[in-house]
Amino acid sequence: MSKKVFSTKKIAVFGIFMALVVVSTMIISIPSVATQGYVNLGDVFVLLSGLILGPIGGLVVGGLGSALADILLGYAYYAPYTLIIKGLEGLIGVVLFKKVFKEKYLLVSLGLAGLFMALGYFVVEIFLYGYPAAILDIWGNIFQGLVGAVLATTLYKVLKDRIKIH
């Protein structure tokens, strides 16, 4: 008999976190004139999903939830890039936390993941809009990633002992 990889509870929590990513991305979205992108709070739940659900959770929830928000907000042309960048952000944050920095440096782990996200969009935006526009937009993405890291760290410390997925 094979062991069930995803319990019903875990699938439901994936869905809830994906909804949190979509809503938190859409509720506050500040447009960027330089690149037609936007600054948002979705990174909070991208990073938190990785911490609560593990690396696969960060990858899947971060990528799919953020890409869906792009589509719903009318930024569908960003969705393929977002799928990869935000998915990797969620994955990187939890891997750095669990394998490299540990509990003491949770904020550093998530901050580096947020900086990865900013760098990812910077590279994409160089190709889409050119260097001057990309350099103007990177500051908003850095701010977004670092605010997301601080808020995700705070929420994780409150929730870590209260949410059991296994």
Given a cut of 70, is residue 18 above it in pLDDT? yes
- The residue among 37 and 83 whose pLDDT is bigger is 83
What is the SS3 assignment for 79? helix
Q: In this structure, how many other beta carbons lie within 10 angstroms of the beta carbon of residue 47?
A: 35
From residue 8, give the alpha-carbon distance in Å to each of 63, 83, 160, 162, 165.
Answer: 21, 24, 20, 18, 10
Q: Where are the domains of the chain?
A: 8-159
- The residue among 123 and 9 whose pLDDT is bigger is 123
Given a cut of 80, is residue 6 above it in pLDDT? no
49-61 per-position pLDDT tens digit:
999 999 999 999 9
Residue percentage of the chain with pLDDT more than 90: 74
| Closest residue by Cα to residue 70 from 37, 43, 113 | 37
- The residue among 38 and 94 whose pLDDT is bigger is 94
CB 117 within 8 A of CB 138: no
Given a cut of 60, is residue 162 above it in pLDDT? yes
Question: Does the domain made of 8-159 have the CATH classification 3.40.50.300?
Answer: no
Assigned token pair, 146 = 């670092």
Residue 106: pLDDT band (50, 70, 90) is very high
| Closest residue by Cα to residue 47 from 158, 164, 142, 150 | 150
Residue 151: pLDDT band (50, 70, 90) is very high
Element containing residue 119 per DSSP (H, E): helix 106-129
Residue percentage of the chain with pLDDT more than 70: 96
